[in-house]
């Protein structure tokens, strides 16, 4: 990887000067915006200067001079600006790099750095009897992309759908079904009918407060394994999962494990009792059981209510224990919205107290998805718009665009293109923003073939594919024929791909990778528009250019696939 290469180079110099050698993380390799300042810049002279009691300029100067003397083949020249050392890559090195990347293009960006380590990525986590909405798209797509990225780095990834399938709401739902439910309605449109019942329960509750009691009783019966209630709960669960699966199938999302909150229900009483016995948990207000988290500056974790009911947090503690025991993961990612930050801070703090910290635990939090009016995307009734409706609408819009763009293609292919474009657009819209920020969801921007969108990237790929199609067989070529600036910038950008993937995993972000691919597309489109490729009358150079195109197409595809986005050979 290019960053490692530069770091080693710098450390060699430090060693030769008998200066302190730096850890990899201590060396920041930057990419100056202005190419006059080199392809890469290193600012270590500032810190070193303090240690060595010299000026940063002096230290930078020495580093630059020594590199100049050593004349590494990778570097054409080094310059200093203030305390910065700026590196310019050599043409030879860039030509050789293209040859290497081309040869290895299918695996470029992959590594084995995570080999032998397991990682559990928990994402999507819809709740039984509730529609999946646009917020679920964000966790689903983000979790899937992170899982792909870790897999690409050699980790054994376990994709986990932690269903929201337990809690007092099921008592209310069962009560509502017994009072007003229709089997037929539930069978025709399960989640819609179940949501309707839940809403009705709450409306009726205003007039009939005694219903509250009824809900609690039904839940108690469910917990006590009452046959009828258990059967109803199972039925609601099964039908809901079927609907979720339909959505996952459309989105191309898979899980290895579907184990939700209900799975841990049975262990909770003994878990709480054990914690109490060990003095870790204590009785707090109104008979509730709590774990004090003062040492973490957090409010106490409530793990059992006064009436003995378990809580969301208790189930998460049990689930964590189960996961650590059974899978021994090195890392566990919870891809869940910002609004649950406190919950995860408490869970992770409790995990420390309970010695459940054998894995690195991370809350991969993300912001809201807002409508174009910057308000929550909701129906006129104030409900969140069901995800399936969002997908449906996107498909229709995409079809119209594709229909116009690709008039000559057969109907079936147009439909397939529209589908792939839609899914790409929706996913990219979720991944292109920094995950901590809210997304302002825009139909137009998302489907804009010339903007920062998946369709633009997919279109770029298709364009490259069509050039290669027309070119026919490419022979071995002489890369020294590539001398244009527009060619070098592409090769330089290709060199950064492995680092972009590593950064994605390190920070659990996808927006940097999306940006990388967008920039790559811009560069290759500029190249294509300004430089003859197929029409280049120098055969050797034409082939070299075609290889540059093929390599770029391949990396664009790998990158998009990491984000869970498919490419198309033609649009
Ligand atoms: N089902 C929950 C919800 O919709 C999210 C679950 C998050 N994961 C967890 N381990 N608590 O709010």
DSSP secondary structure string for all residues of 441-496: --HHHHT-TTSSSHHHHHHHHHHHHHHHHHH-PPPP--GGG---HHHHHHHHHHHT
CA 318/CA 264 separation, integer angstroms = 6
Identify the pLDDT of residue 327: 98
Considering the entire predicted model, what is its pTM?
A: 0.96
pLDDT confidence of residue 373: 86
Which element (helix H / strand E) includes 557? helix 539-562
Report CA(228)–ligand 1 centroid distance (Å).
27
* Domains of the chain with CATH codes: 2-89 (3.30.1360.70), 118-273+310-369 (3.40.50.620), 387-562 (1.10.730.10)
Predicted local distance difference test score (pLDDT) of residue 26: 85
Give the pLDDT of residue 383: 76
Burial tier of 388 (Cβ tally within 10 Å: 0-12, 13-18, 19+): middle
Report CA(217)–ligand 1 centroid distance (Å): 25
pLDDT value of residue 275: 95
The angle formed by the CA atoms of residues 395, 397 and 398, to the nearest 5 degrees, is: 65
Atom of ligand 1 nearest to the CA of 319: 10
> What is the Cα–Cα distance from 491 to 103, expressed in whole angstroms?
14
Residues with CB under 6 A from ligand 1: 122, 125, 127, 162, 164, 316, 334, 336
pLDDT at 39 (0 to 100): 96
Q: How far is the CA of 261 from the centre of ligand 1 (A)?
A: 9
- Residue 324 in tokens: 């650590």
What pLDDT, on a 0 to 100 scale, did the predictor assign at position 308?
A: 85
Ligand 1 atom 5: residue of nearest CA: 125
Give the DSSP H/E element, type plus range, for residue 150: helix 134-152
**Which pair of tokens denotes residue 308?**
């003995």
Instruction: Tell me which residue has its CA closest to atom 11 in ligand 1.
Output: 316
Pocket test for ligand 1, best of 122, 128, 162 (most atoms within 8 A of CB): 162
Distance 95 CA to ligand 1 centre (A): 49
Distance from the alpha carbon of residue 260 to the mean position of ligand 1, in angstroms: 9
DSSP letter, residue 20: P
State residue 25's pLDDT score: 83
Of 48, 2, 7, 9, nearest to 25 (Cα)?
Answer: 7
Low-confidence ranges of the chain (pLDDT < 70): none
In this predicted structure, what is the pLDDT of residue 490? Answer: 98
| pLDDT score, position 476 | 73
Q: What is the pLDDT of residue 372?
A: 86
CA atoms within 13 A on the CB side of 109: 31
């Amino acid at each position: 990887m290019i960053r490692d290469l530069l770091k080693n180079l710098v450390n060699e110099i430090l060693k030769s000067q008998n200066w302190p050698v730096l850890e990899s993380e201590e060396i920041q390799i930057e990419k100056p915006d202005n190419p006059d300042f080199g392809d890469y810049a290193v600012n270590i002279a500032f810190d070193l200067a303090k240690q060595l009691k010299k000026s940063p300029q002096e230290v930078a100067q020495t580093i630059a001079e020594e590199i100049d003397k050593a004349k590494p083949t990778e570097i054409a020249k080094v310059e200093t600006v203030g305390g910065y050392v700026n590196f310019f890559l050599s043409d030879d090195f860039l030509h050789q790099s293209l040859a290497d990347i081309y040869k290895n293009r299918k695996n470029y960006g992959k590594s084995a750095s995570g080999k032998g380590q397991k990682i559990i990525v928990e994402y999507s986590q819809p709740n039984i009897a509730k529609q999946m909405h646009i917020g679920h798209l964000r966790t689903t797509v983000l979790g899937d992309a992170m899982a792909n990225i870790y897999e690409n780095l050699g980790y054994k990834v376990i994709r986990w759908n932690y269903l929201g399938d337990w809690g007092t709401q099921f008592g209310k739902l069962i009560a509502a079904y017994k009072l007003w439910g229709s089997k037929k309605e539930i069978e025709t449109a399960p989640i819609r009918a179940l949501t309707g019942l839940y809403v009705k329960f709450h409306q009726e509750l205003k007039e009939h407060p005694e219903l509250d009691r009824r809900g609690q009783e039904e839940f108690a019966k469910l917990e006590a394994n009452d046959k009828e209630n258990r059967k109803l709960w199972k039925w609601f669960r099964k039908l809901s999962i079927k609907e979720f699966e339909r959505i996952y199938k459309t989105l191309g999302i898979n899980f290895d494990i579907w184990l939700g909150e209900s799975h841990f229900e049975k262990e909770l009483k003994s878990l709480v009792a054990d914690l109490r016995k060990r003095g870790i948990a204590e009785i707090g207000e109104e008979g509730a059981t709590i774990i004090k988290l003062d040492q973490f500056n957090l409010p106490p974790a409530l793990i059992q209510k006064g009436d003995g009911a378990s809580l969301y947090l208790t189930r998460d503690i049990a689930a964590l224990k189960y996961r650590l025991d059974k899978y021994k993961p090195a890392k566990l990612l919870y891809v869940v919205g910002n609004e649950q930050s406190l919950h995860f801070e408490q869970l992770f703090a409790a995990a420390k107290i309970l010695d459940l910290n054998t894995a690195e635990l991370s809350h991969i939090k993300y912001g809201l998805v807002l409508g174009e009016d910057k308000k929550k995307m909701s129906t006129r009734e104030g409900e969140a718009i069901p995800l399936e409706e969002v997908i449906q609408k996107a498909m229709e819009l995409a079809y119209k665009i594709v229909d116009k763009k690709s008039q000559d293609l057969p109907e079936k292919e147009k439909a397939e293109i529209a589908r792939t474009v839609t899914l790409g657009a929706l996913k990219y819209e979720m991944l292109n923003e920094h995950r901590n920020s809210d997304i302002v969801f825009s139909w137009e921007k998302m489907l804009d073939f010339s903007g920062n969108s998946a369709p633009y990237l997919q279109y770029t790929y298709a364009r490259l594919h069509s050039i290669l199609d027309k070119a026919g067989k490419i022979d071995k070529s002489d890369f020294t024929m590539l001398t244009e600036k527009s060619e070098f910038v592409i090769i330089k950008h290709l060199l950064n791909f492995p680092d972009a993937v590593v950064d994605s995993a390190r920070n659990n972000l996808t927006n940097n990778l999306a940006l990388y691919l967008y920039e790559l597309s811009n560069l290759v489109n500029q190249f294509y528009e300004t430089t003859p490729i197929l029409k280049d009358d120098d055969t050797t150079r034409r082939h070299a250019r075609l290889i540059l195109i093929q390599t770029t197409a391949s990396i664009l595809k790998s990158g998009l696939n990491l984000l869970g986005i498919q490419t198309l050979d033609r649009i």
